[in-house]
């Protein structure tokens, strides 16, 4: 069912009603539906890839005119080696579909949606359990359906997330970008520091879990920082240094290296560069690093590199981020790596789900009580009244 053909009210209401049916279906019926979707998509591979090819054609033109980034173009291609298979595997893993992009993928989505709708016809899962919105016009009306919609998960730019949040009473699971920091403490093994910082910055610079800011303890300026900086420069990273780190590196690095150091501006410490740019700043001790991160970071993932367990624990308690890691890469913050399957996103919210979010992060509980005529009036402090036990139950 496509929401262009129905009012947002009806669409949301029928989806809610479908969710009630889904809740009462046995697992076997839900699995049957997933299997039916999987089979139908497998059989429709040719049609869907043809629709995707038409999307790609338009997107290529948009990319040539500079209206679309090459990274979106590359994510759009369902025919790319392994992508189709991964998507189908994801369905069987009950992990949901990977998101292949925005309006650029309309034809592919319509083709996929038709196949899924048809597949559900022969199962107990209501057709309206999955609905496709093909035009942005429907979004504002959908955002008004707080009676029927429990949660909105916007996938896209920071601007999109901000727009959605300010336009609805429905809770929004925000998947913000990341300004992740690494704090370099003087006691860390320099080889370990090199490995972790290089991985955090260079293994996928466009990812939200890549490091953007390196905070260097004063006592580490002359010892640990130079080999780390040298390794980053060798990988083509632009280093934007404050005065202290620049002075230390100028002293310790070959002239050819120190000549390409850049000067950091204040804005660099509040920017998600998403490229091979790293801002570097000196801090006196760990508490200053914590304060900097809490004020300038995005509460996504922050790392301390140190051999001191005490300082590591202090950092991990004090930094108010979804992920606080000791001696490992910021890029470990990932649903797949955490074992959640394909992730819905990484949440910087402080309610419900925080950090990488998989299927379990979308769940909520309900309280079921199976009684035998128990009534509240029988419990209390009075004579002959019962009291509640409230014992911890061993697992």
Instruction: Please tell me whether residue 77 adopts helix, strand or coil conformation.
Output: coil
Of the pair 267, 377, the CB lying nearest a copy of itself is at: 377
Place of tokens 């399957």: 341
Copy the structure tokens of residue 159.
């601007």
Give the nearest distance from C-beta 296 to a copy of itself in angstroms: 12
Q: Tell me the C-alpha distance between 229 and 257, whole Å.
A: 9
Q: Tell me the C-alpha distance between 240 and 238, whole Å.
A: 6
Give the nearest distance from C-beta 182 to a copy of itself in angstroms: 12
Residue 183: phi and psi, rounded to 5, are -105, 120
Q: Tell me the C-alpha distance between 237 and 233, whole Å.
A: 5
Of the pair 136, 386, the CB lying nearest a copy of itself is at: 386
Give the nearest distance from C-beta 2 to a copy of itself in angstroms: 25
| Number of neighbouring beta carbons within 10 Å of residue 321 | 23
Give the pairing type, strands 345-347 and 355-357.
Answer: antiparallel
Q: Tell me the C-alpha distance between 93 and 34, whole Å.
A: 9
Q: Are 256 and 190 in contact (CB under 8 A)?
A: no
Give the nearest distance from C-beta 152 to a copy of itself in angstroms: 10
Of the pair 17, 106, the CB lying nearest a copy of itself is at: 17
CA distances 189 to 109, 305, 308, Å, are 50, 9, 11
Of the pair 178, 355, the CB lying nearest a copy of itself is at: 355
Give the nearest distance from C-beta 110 to a copy of itself in angstroms: 30
Of the pair 23, 70, the CB lying nearest a copy of itself is at: 23
Give the nearest distance from C-beta 123 to a copy of itself in angstroms: 18
Return the bridge partners of 262, or none: 240
Of the pair 101, 297, the CB lying nearest a copy of itself is at: 297
Q: Tell me the C-alpha distance between 207 and 188, whole Å.
A: 26
Of the pair 12, 290, the CB lying nearest a copy of itself is at: 290
Give the nearest distance from C-beta 292 to a copy of itself in angstroms: 12
Q: Are 153 and 321 in contact (CB under 8 A)?
A: no
Helix axes 27-43, 83-92, angle to 10 degrees: 160
């Amino acid at each position: 069912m496509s929401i262009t053909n129905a009012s947002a009210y009806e669409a949301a209401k029928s989806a809610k009603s479908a969710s009630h049916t889904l809740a009462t279906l046995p697992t076997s019926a839900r699995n049957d539906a997933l299997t039916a979707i999987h089979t139908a998509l497998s059989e429709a591979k040719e049609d869907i890839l043809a629709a995707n090819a038409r999307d790609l054609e338009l997107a290529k033109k948009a990319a040539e005119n500079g209206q679309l980034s090459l990274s979106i173009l590359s994510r759009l291609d369902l025919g790319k080696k392994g992508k189709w298979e991964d998507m189908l595997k994801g369905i069987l893993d009950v992990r949901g579909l990977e998101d292949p992009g925005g309006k650029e993928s309309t034809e592919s989505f319509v083709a996929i949606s038709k196949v899924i709708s048809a597949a559900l016809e022969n199962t107990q899962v209501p057709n309206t359990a999955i609905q496709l919105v093909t035009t942005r016009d429907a979004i504002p009306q959908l955002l008004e359906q707080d009676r029927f919609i429990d949660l909105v998960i916007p996938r896209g730019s920071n601007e999109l997330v901000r727009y959605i949040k300010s336009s609805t009473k429905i809770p929004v699971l925000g998947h913000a970008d990341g300004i992740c920091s690494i704090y370099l403490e003087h006691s860390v093994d320099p080889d370990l520091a090199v490995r972790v910082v290089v991985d955090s910055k260079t293994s996928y610079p466009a990812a939200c879990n890549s490091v953007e800011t390196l905070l260097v303890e004063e006592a580490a300026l002359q010892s640990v920082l130079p080999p780390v900086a040298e390794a980053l420069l060798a990988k083509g990273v632009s280093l934007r240094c404050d005065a202290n780190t620049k002075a230390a590196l100028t002293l310790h690095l070959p002239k050819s290296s120190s000549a390409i150091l850049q000067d950091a501006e204040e804005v660099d410490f509040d920017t998600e560069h998403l490229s091979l740019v790293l801002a570097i700043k000196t801090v006196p001790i760990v508490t200053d690093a914590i304060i900097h991160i809490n004020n300038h970071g995005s509460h996504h993932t922050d790392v301390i590199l140190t051999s001191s367990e005490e300082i590591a624990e202090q950092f991990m308690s004090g930094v108010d981020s979804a992920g606080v890691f000791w001696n490992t890469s910021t890029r470990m913050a990932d649903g797949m790596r955490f074992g959640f399957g394909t992730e819905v996103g990484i949440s910087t919210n402080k309610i419900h789900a925080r950090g990488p979010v998989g299927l379990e992060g979308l769940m909520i509980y309900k309280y079921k009580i199976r009684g035998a005529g128990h009534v509240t009036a029988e419990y209390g402090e009075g004579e002959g009244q019962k009291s509640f036990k409230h014992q911890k139950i061993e697992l």
